[in-house]
C-alpha cells in the first residue's frame, strides 16, 4: 500500500502473511476495543485489526492496539520460575513444583508466626475476570488473609466509592451510546484523546453530527480542552467547589427536576442547605472560574434535554476524589440525568479489566458486588464454596495504600504481587523501596522479569499474558468481551488461573476444595453466583459474547442481550430503592504553591504509553515517541528561569526531586507544570502521599513544586539514560 504524494517519499507498509484471524479484546485500556489478531502459518502473531461490526470501536484501534501483536515477543518475558534465598542475590531458575512449594510454605510460616492477615496480596486490573474470581476464592476461601486488594485502588477506587455512596452499588450507569443521545457533555479531569482515544472518537463523531456543547473542566489546556465550547481552567483541587456552585445556581434558579428528586432521592434538605453557601461569587474566588461562567454552565447543563458527565483521574486521584464523584452524581440526580439516554454519570475506567476486579475479585468484599459486612452475603458464598462461613472476616481489610504503611509498621511480613508494580505506581518511591526491603518474603507474579518490584522478590512466577490464554474483560460501559487464545505462552510461563489452582492444592490440608481448573469452569461459577445480582452474568456464554462483540451486564433471561443503562426505572441499590443526595463541604487540604514551591504540579498520560510502561516501554513504535520523562512548562516561566527547550531541569517538592526534560508549551499556565505519570522513579517521588478518606485512593494529581535549571546538562543526560535503559 502506498501513501504520500505520488513521487515523494512514499511509505510502504509490508503486506502481512496472515493465515487466520483470532478474535480478541484489547488488553490495554478500558475502552474495550474488539480486535482480531492475525497469525501466520508458523503460528506467529503478525498484525492486529479492529473489528468492523463491534459497537465499541467500529473497526478502529488506537496506536497501542495497532501494535499490540508485538507484546508477545517483547523483551524480558519471564520463561521459568525463579527463586533465591535473599533479595539482591542472583535468582536461580527452578521448577514450578519448587517455586510453588517454597511460596506456599513461606505463606504458611508467616501466617502461623504472625497471624493470618500478616501476609498481603495485591493484584491488578489486567488479568481475566475468571482469574480474578479464582484468585478471590483462593485468598478469601483458602489462604484466608484479609489484607488483599487490587491496584485499581490507585485508579478507580474513588469512582467505586462515589457510586456506592450515591446509588448503593458500584457499576457505571451509562454507556458510549449516551454520546449519541446527549444534549450537553461535561468532561471533568479527563483528557480522552490521549487516555481513551477510541471513546474520544465516538464522542467527537457524535459532536460533529449533532453539535451539542462540550464543556471541559481541566487546569491544563488538554487536547480535549482545545476542542471544547467552554473550557474551565479550574484551580487544581477545587472541583468540589465548582460542582457545588453549579448545583447552587440550578436550585436558586429553579432549574432542578423536582419530580425526579422527590420520587427517587433522599437527602435533599441537607444538600440544598449546603450548596446554598456556594454562591458563584464566593466559589469563583476559590475555584478560579468567574461567576458568569459558572452561571452559564449551570444553566446550559440543567436546561439540556439530557446531559451527561464523564470524568477520569482528575477527579479520582485526589484527597477528596470520592466526594468529587458524589458531587457529579448529585448534579445528575437534581437534573434527572441518570438512567436516561444521554443523561448519566459515566466514570471512564482505567485498565482493560479494572471493572472485572470490581465485580468478581472479592478484593473489597465477596464476588458479585457482595459485602463481607453482610451476613447473608457471607452465608451465600460460604455455602457455594462449601466452606465454613466463620472463615470469612466480617469487614474488608486494608486497601493497597494502607498495606504499605502496615509493612512499615511490621504488621505485614509477606507480600504476593500479581501483575502490579508498586515500585513505579505508588506515591513516594523512595519510601516504597525501604518498605519492600522490610518484607520477609515477596513473590512477584508477572509476565516480565524486569518489573522494578522483582528486585525485592524471593520468588518469581512467570505468567502468561493477554491472548496467550482465553477469558473475559469488562469495559467502561459494563460490556463483557472475550479474548480467545492466539499464541502459546513462552517457555514455562503459565496462566494466572493455573498458578492459583496449583497454589490452592498446597493449602487443602485434608479439606476438599472445589476449585476451577480452567477459565471456562470459573466462568460457569460466575454465571451461577451472579444470577439475580446487579452484575448478572447468567445469560452470558463465550459464544454469545463473541458473536455480539461484547454484551453489557446485567445479562439474564429477562435481558438476553444485556442492558445499556442502569437505573432506568429510578430504583437504586440502597435498601429503600432511592439514591442519596449528599451534602459535601469543601475541606481545603491542598498543598498550594508558595514562595518556596511556586508551581502547581499536575500529572497525566500520553497516548503512546500505558500506565508504568511495563509493556509500551518495550514496543519500539510506541516508546520512540516519549522514551524519557519530560515536563511541560509555560514559555514565560521558562524564560524567567532561563530554561531552554529540551534542557534538563530539576523538579523539587517537599518530598523529593526528579530530573526531566523541559518542553515549552502554552498548554500549561505560567504557574503550573505537567509531567506524564508513566516513568519509573519520576513524578511519584514528588507526590503528596495523602489519601482520600473514603476510597483510600492517592492524591497523585496536584502538589507544589520548585523548578531549577540543571547546570551540568551532560551528566543529567547520562544519568537519565542509565536509569531508563531496559
Nearer to ligand SF4, 65 or 397 (CB): 65
**Hey, which residues between 11 and 30 contact ligand SF4 (CB under 6 A)?**
26, 28-29
Check if the beta carbon of residue 118 is closer than 8 Å to that of residue 129: no
CB 423 within 8 A of CB 439: no
DSSP-derived 3-state class of residue 36: strand
Is 197 a binding residue for ligand SF4 by CB under 6 A? The answer is: yes
Residue closer to ligand SF4 by CB (options 58, 650) is: 58
CB neighbourhood size of 246 (10 A): 30
Backbone CA torsion sign across 182, 184, 190, 195: positive
Helix pair angle (129-138, 519-530), 10° resolution:
80
Interface with ligand SF4 by CB under 6 A: which range of 54-62, 85-93, 259-267, 393-401?
Answer: 54-62
β-strand 657-664 against 630-633: which pairing, if any? Answer: parallel
Q: Considering only 56-64, 177-185, 366-374, 476-484, which stretch makes contact with ligand SF4 by CB under 6 A? A: 56-64
Spatial contact of 592 and 688, defined as CB atoms under 8 Å apart:
no
Measured over the CA atoms of residue 378, residue 384, residue 385 and residue 388, the dihedral's sign is: positive
Q: Kindly give the pairing relationship between strand 119-123 and strand 414-418.
A: parallel
- Report the nearest approach of ligand SF4 to the CB of residue 602 (Å): 22
C-alpha cell at 51: 473489528
DSSP 142: I
Give the three-class secondary structure for 574. coil
Question: How far apart are CB 283 and ligand SF4 at their closest, in Å?
Answer: 35
Give CA–CA dist 726/724, Å, rounded. 6
Judged by CB under 6 A, the stretch of 61-69, 251-259, 526-534, 584-592 that binds ligand SF4 is 61-69
Q: Is 93 exposed, middle or buried (0-12, 13-18, 19+ CB in 10 A)?
A: middle
Taking the complex as a whole, the smallest distance from the CB of residue 63 to ligand SF4 amounts, in Å, to 7
CB 51 → ligand SF4: shortest distance, Å? Answer: 11
With CB atoms as reference, the residue minimizing the distance to ligand SF4 is 65
Q: Does the protein bind ligand SF4 through residue 65 (CB under 6 A)?
A: yes
33 contacts ligand SF4 (rule: CB under 6 A):
yes
66 or 334: CB nearest ligand SF4:
66
Do you know the residue count of the chain? 726
Name the residue nearer to ligand SF4 (CB basis): 65 or 341.
65
Q: Is the Cβ of residue 65 or residue 78 nearer to ligand SF4 in the bound state?
A: 65
The continuous run of DSSP H or E covering 382 comes out as: helix 375-384
In the complex, what is the shortest distance from the CB of residue 409 to ligand SF4, in angstroms, rounded to a whole number? 38
- Determine the interface stretch with ligand SF4 among 194-202, 416-424, 425-433, 650-658 (rule: CB under 6 A): 194-202
Q: Which CB, 156 or 302, lies closer to ligand SF4?
A: 156
Q: Is 64 in the site for ligand SF4 (CB under 6 A)?
A: yes
Residue with cell 515549552: 664
Q: Which of 37, 54, 62, 175 binds ligand SF4 (CB under 6 A)?
A: 62
- 345 vs 353, which CB is nearer to ligand SF4? 353
Subset of residues 660 to 719 that bind ligand SF4, contact rule: CB under 6 A: none
Whose Cβ is closer to ligand SF4: residue 65's or residue 422's?
A: 65
- State in angstroms the smallest separation of the CB of 426 from ligand SF4: 23
Selected range binding ligand SF4 among 74-82, 132-140, 196-204, 573-581, rule: CB under 6 A: 196-204
- For 220, residues 6+ apart whose C-beta sits below 8 A from its C-beta are 233, 602, 604, 632, 667, 668, 669, 672, 674
Closer residue to ligand SF4 in complex, CB, 35/241: 35
C-alpha angle 317-319-322 in degrees, rounded to nearest 5: 70
- The distance of closest approach from Cβ of residue 28 to ligand SF4 in the complex, given in angstroms and rounded to an integer, is 4
Tell which one of 196, 264, 479, 609 touches ligand SF4 (CB under 6 A).
196
Segment contacting ligand SF4 by CB under 6 A, of 55-63, 523-531, 632-640, 684-692 = 55-63
Q: How far is the CB of 467 from ligand SF4 (least distance, A)?
A: 13
The residue among 706, 617, 631, 623 whose CA lies nearest residue 661 is 631
Judged by CB, which is closer to ligand SF4: 28, or 586?
Answer: 28
- Should residue 61 be labelled a site residue for ligand SF4 when binding is judged by CB under 6 A? yes
Q: Which residues contact 117 (CB under 8 A, 6 or more apart)?
A: 145, 146, 147, 397, 411, 412
**Cβ of residue 205: shortest distance to ligand SF4, in angstroms?**
14
Strand-pair category, 459-462 with 82-83: antiparallel
How many angstroms separate the CA atoms of 548 and 448, rounded? Answer: 33
Q: How far is the CB of 179 from ligand SF4 (least distance, A)?
A: 15
**Closer CB to ligand SF4, 59 or 620, in the complex:** 59
- The one-character DSSP state at 663 is E
Cβ proximity to ligand SF4, 50 vs 219, nearer residue: 50
Q: What are phi and psi of 605, to 5 degrees?
A: -120, 165
Query: Which string of DSSP letters, residue by residue, matches 389-415?
Result: GGGS-SS----HHHHHHHHHTTS--EE
DSSP state of 448: B
Pick 84 or 484: Cβ nearer ligand SF4: 484
Given a contact cutoff of 8 angstroms between Cβ atoms, the answer to whether 611 and 603 are in contact is: no
- Figure out which of the listed residues 45, 80, 198, 649 binds ligand SF4, where binding follows CB under 6 A: 198
Find out whether 397 and 119 touch, Cβ atoms under 8 Å: no
Name the residue with cell 519471564: 78
- List, in sequence order, every beta strand (DSSP E) within 26-93: 34-39, 45-50, 82-83, 92-93
Least distance in Å: CB of 607 to ligand SF4?
8
Q: Are 467 and 487 in contact (CB under 8 A)?
A: yes
What is the nearest approach in angstroms of ligand SF4 to the Cβ of residue 48?
Answer: 9
Q: Is 623 exposed, middle or buried (0-12, 13-18, 19+ CB in 10 A)?
A: middle
The nearer residue to ligand SF4, 26 or 302, going by C-beta atoms, is 26
Provide the minimum distance between the beta carbon of 126 and ligand SF4 in the complex, in angstroms, as a whole number: 12
User: Which among 114-122, 192-200, 217-225, 507-515 is the span making contact with ligand SF4, rule CB under 6 A?
Assistant: 192-200
Q: In the complex, what is the shortest distance from the CB of residue 186 to ligand SF4, in angstroms, rounded to a whole number? A: 22
Neighbours of 180 (CB within 10 A): 15
Smallest distance, Å, CB 64 to ligand SF4? Answer: 4
Which spans of this chain sit near ligand SF4 (rule: CB under 6 A)? Answer: 26, 28-29, 31-33, 57, 61-62, 64-65, 196-198
Amino acid at each position: 500500500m502506498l501513501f504520500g504524494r505520488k513521487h515523494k517519499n512514499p511509505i510502504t507498509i509490508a503486506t502481512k502473511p496472515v493465515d487466520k484471524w483470532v478474535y480478541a479484546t484489547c488488553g490495554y485500556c478500558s475502552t474495550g476495543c474488539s480486535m482480531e489478531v492475525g497469525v501466520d502459518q508458523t503460528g506467529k502473531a503478525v498484525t492486529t485489526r479492529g473489528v468492523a461490526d463491534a459497537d465499541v470501536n467500529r473497526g478502529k484501534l488506537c496506536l497501542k492496539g495497532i501494535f499490540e501483536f508485538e507484546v508477545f515477543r517483547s523483551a524480558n518475558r519471564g520463561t521459568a520460575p525463579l527463586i533465591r534465598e535473599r533479595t539482591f542475590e542472583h535468582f536461580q531458575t527452578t521448577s514450578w513444583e519448587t517455586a510453588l512449594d517454597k511460596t506456599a510454605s513461606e505463606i504458611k510460616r508467616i501466617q502461623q508466626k504472625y497471624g493470618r492477615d500478616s501476609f498481603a496480596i495485591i493484584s491488578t486490573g489486567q488479568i481475566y475476570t475468571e482469574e480474578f474470581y479464582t484468585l478471590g476464592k483462593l485468598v478469601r476461601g483458602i489462604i484466608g488473609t484479609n489484607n488483599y486488594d487490587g491496584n485499581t485502588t490507585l485508579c478507580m477506587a474513588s469512582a467505586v466509592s462515589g457510586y456506592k455512596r450515591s446509588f448503593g452499588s458500584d457499576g457505571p450507569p451509562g454507556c458510549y451510546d449516551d454520546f449519541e443521545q446527549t444534549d450537553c457533555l461535561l468532561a471533568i479531569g479527563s483528557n480522552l484523546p490521549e487516555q481513551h482515544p477510541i471513546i474520544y472518537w465516538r464522542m467527537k463523531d457524535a459532536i460533529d453530527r449533532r453539535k451539542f456543547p462540550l464543556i471541559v473542566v481541566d487546569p491544563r489546556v488538554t487536547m480535549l480542552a482545545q476542542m471544547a465550547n467552554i473550557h474551565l481552567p479550574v484551580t487544581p483541587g477545587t472541583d468540589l467547589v465548582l460542582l457545588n456552585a453549579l448545583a447552587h445556581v440550578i436550585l436558586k434558579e429553579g432549574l432542578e427536576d423536582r419530580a425526579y428528586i422527590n420520587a427517587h432521592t433522599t437527602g435533599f434538605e441537607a444538600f440544598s442547605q449546603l450548596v446554598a453557601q456556594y454562591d458563584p461569587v464566593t466559589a469563583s474566588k476559590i475555584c478560579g472560574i468567574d461567576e458568569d461562567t459558572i452561571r452559564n454552565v449551570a444553566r446550559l447543563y440543567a436546561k439540556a434535554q439530557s446531559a451527561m458527565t464523564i470524568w477520569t483521574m482528575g477527579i479520582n486521584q485526589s484527597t477528596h476524589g470520592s466526594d468529587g464523584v458524589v458531587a457529579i452524581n448529585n448534579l445528575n440526580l437534581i437534573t434527572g440525568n441518570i438512567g436516561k439516554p444521554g443523561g448519566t454519570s459515566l466514570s471512564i475506567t482505567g485498565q482493560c479489566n479494572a471493572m472485572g476486579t470490581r465485580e468478581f475479585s472479592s478484593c473489597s468484599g465477596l464476588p458479585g458486588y457482595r459485602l463481607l459486612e453482610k451476613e447473608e452475603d457471607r452465608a451465600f458464598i460460604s455455602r457455594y464454596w462449601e466452606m465454613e462461613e466463620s472463615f470469612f472476616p466480617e469487614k474488608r481489610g486494608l486497601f493497597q495504600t494502607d498495606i504499605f504503611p502496615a509493612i512499615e509498621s511490621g504488621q505485614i511480613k509477606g507480600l504476593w504481587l500479581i501483575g502490579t508494580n508498586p515500585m513505579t505506581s505508588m506515591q513516594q518511591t523512595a519510601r516504597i523501596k525501604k518498605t519492600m526491603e522490610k518484607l520477609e518474603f515477596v513473590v512477584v507474579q508477572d509476565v516480565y522479569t524486569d518489573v522494578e518490584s522483582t528486585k525485592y522478590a524471593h520468588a518469581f512466577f512467570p505468567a502468561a499474558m493477554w491472548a496467550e490464554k482465553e477469558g473475559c474483560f469488562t469495559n467502561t460501559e459494563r460490556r463483557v468481551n472475550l479474548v480467545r487464545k492466539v499464541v502459546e505462552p513462552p517457555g514455562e510461563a503459565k496462566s494466572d488461573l493455573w498458578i492459583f489452582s496449583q497454589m490452592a492444592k498446597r493449602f487443602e490440608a485434608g479439606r476438599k476444595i472445589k476449585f476451577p481448573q480452567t477459565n471456562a469452569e470459573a466462568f460457569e461459577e460466575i454465571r451461577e453466583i451472579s444470577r439475580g445480582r446487579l452484575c448478572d452474568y447468567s445469560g452470558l456464554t463465550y459464544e454469545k459474547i463473541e458473536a455480539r462483540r461484547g454484551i453489557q451486564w446485567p445479562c439474564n433471561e429477562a435481558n438476553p442481550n444485556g442492558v445499556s443503562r442502569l437505573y432506568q426505572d429510578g430504583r437504586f441499590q440502597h435498601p429503600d430503592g432511592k439514591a442519596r443526595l449528599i451534602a459535601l463541604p469543601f475541606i481545603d487540604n491542598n498543598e498550594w504553591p508558595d514562595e518556596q514551591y511556586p508551581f502547581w504540579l499536575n500529572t497525566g498520560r500520553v497516548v503512546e504509553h500505558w500506565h508504568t510502561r511495563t509493556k509500551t516501554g518495550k514496543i519500539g513504535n510506541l516508546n520512540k515517541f516519549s522514551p524519557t520523562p519530560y515536563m511541560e512548562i509555560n514559555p514565560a516561566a521558562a524564560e524567567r528561569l532561563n530554561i531552554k527547550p529540551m534542557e534538563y531541569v530539576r523538579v523539587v517538592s517537599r518530598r523529593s526531586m526528579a530530573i526531566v526534560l523541559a518542553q515549552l508549551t502554552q498548554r500549561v499556565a505560567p504557574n503550573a507544570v505537567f509531567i506524564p505519570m508513566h516513568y519509573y522513579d519520576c513524578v511519584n517521588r514528588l507526590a503528596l502521599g495523602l489519601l482520600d478518606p473514603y476510597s483510600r485512593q492517592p492524591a497523585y494529581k496536584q502538589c507544589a513544586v520548585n523548578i531549577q535549571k540543571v547546570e551540568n546538562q551532560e551528566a543529567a543526560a547520562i544519568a537519565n539514560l542509565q536509569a531508563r535503559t531496559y
